[in-house]
Structure 1
């Protein structure tokens, strides 16, 4: 494989570690599309030659890019640019939009439904409001690089989010809108992941056959005042991964 155009080679005279310089150089190739989704990248020997670094230094950079969700290594086959996949694990509390940015994916949102509904027992319990209180319900298709990642239905107490229902069609980052218009800044969230399947009503949007295995995610997000969002999501299992690092 020819050397990619514009490859920024690590320079020992710079203060940053060589592995970090290599990681940034390879990340740049992915982000600008020089290495496209699904493409197999050069082997370690060739990459080390291109960058002028040792195999140990290169492996440090590749491991970081794999953990960030940009690359995937397949035993016996090689290393590939990962397709639009969200990698969930130990991470900070972020919006879907910010999570996409961290993985060098272009976030997209398509509003499916926006309604005012009375809180049922489940919503009321999660949001710490009374049963029957008005709740803004937003059902949205979440996209990464234009490809469906999942369907998310958010429930928010209407009293805390005035104007959200009327402005729903213009909202791309919900957390960004909440901070700007309502002064709501998330401080923590509780999430539960379960194995489920794609409902018939969602199969066309997710571009999957009904009954296909998927992750079902339940999330309650809090700001300084308490819970402000109860979200239920169905995430494509082939584009959403959960990783954990375990310690003794």
Structure 2
């Protein structure tokens, strides 16, 4: 890979740390598309020469970009520019829209369907309502930078979300709509992650062959009055990561 034309070398006379300047310089190459998704970036020796910084300083910058989901290191192969990726880990309870923006990805949501259902035993237990109660079900395709990341099927008690069925096609952020129209403000959520596969019915939408390994995510979200959302998601394993920091 030739030296990028848009590369901004760190300036030792500036007050910002060199690692931060290097991180911003490399981030700029990725965000501008000069380093395209899937491409391999130069090795550490070459990058250090290009930026005029030490390997220790460079590794600080590269680690931050990897943690931000912009780079992917493959042992024995090198470092590659990652496509749109959503990173799950220790994070605040936010909407998908807000979380994507935090990760510097342009969020997108496509409504696949909305319907009224009678609560099954599983839905009733999760939402603490009677079996057979009216449930609003939303199916949405999640996008990051225009590329599919997952499909979520959300269930909400109809009695708590008046107007949602009719408003659903125009909603860009469900949590924001619930707060503005139903005074529902999330305070916590419980999530379970399982290894699953892409259902045949969703394969074309998520742009993967049926039975491709994927994450299955089950989520129950609460406000101060109790559970209001029971969501089941299929997430692309190549664009969705789970990271944790463990302490003694």
TM-score, normalised by the number of residues in structure 1: 0.91
1:228 and 2:239 correspond = no
1:202 and 2:202 correspond = yes
Residue 89 of structure 2 is matched in structure 1 by 89
Deviations 1:202-243 (A, max 9, x none): 122122222222211000112222222110001122222222
Stretches of structure 1 lacking an aligned partner (at least 5 in a row): none
1:66 and 2:71 correspond = no
TM-fit CA distance, 1:168 = 0.9
How far apart are the structure 2 equivalents of 1:114 and 1:228?
17
Distance 1:20 1:141, change over 3 A: same
- Map 1:34-183 to 2 at 5 A: 34-183=34-183
TM-fit CA distance, 1:194 = 0.8
Given that 1:31 and 1:104 are in contact with CA atoms closer than 8 Å, whether structure 2 keeps it comes out as no
How far apart are the structure 2 equivalents of 1:40 and 1:247?
33
The secondary structure found in structure 2 opposite 1:28 is helix
Residue 240 of structure 2 is matched in structure 1 by 240
How far apart are the structure 1 equivalents of 2:27 and 2:94?
21
TM-fit CA distance, 1:141 = 1.2
Stretches of structure 2 lacking an aligned partner (at least 5 in a row): none
Judge which range, 9-18 or 230-239, deviates more.
9-18
Given that 1:70 and 1:103 are in contact with CA atoms closer than 8 Å, whether structure 2 keeps it comes out as no
Given that 1:196 and 1:216 are in contact with CA atoms closer than 8 Å, whether structure 2 keeps it comes out as yes
TM-fit CA distance, 1:55 = 1.1
- Map 1:3-18 to 2 at 5 A: 3-18=3-18
Cα root mean square deviation, aligned? 1.9
Given that 1:154 and 1:232 are in contact with CA atoms closer than 8 Å, whether structure 2 keeps it comes out as yes
TM-fit CA distance, 1:2 = 4.1
The secondary structure found in structure 2 opposite 1:167 is helix
TM-score, normalised by the number of residues in structure 2: 0.91
Distance 1:40 1:128, change over 3 A: same
How far apart are the structure 1 equivalents of 2:57 and 2:120?
55
TM-fit CA distance, 1:6 = 4.0
Deviations 1:156-189 (A, max 9, x none): 1222222221111112221222233333222221
| Residues paired across the two proteins, number | 248
1:28 and 2:28 correspond = yes
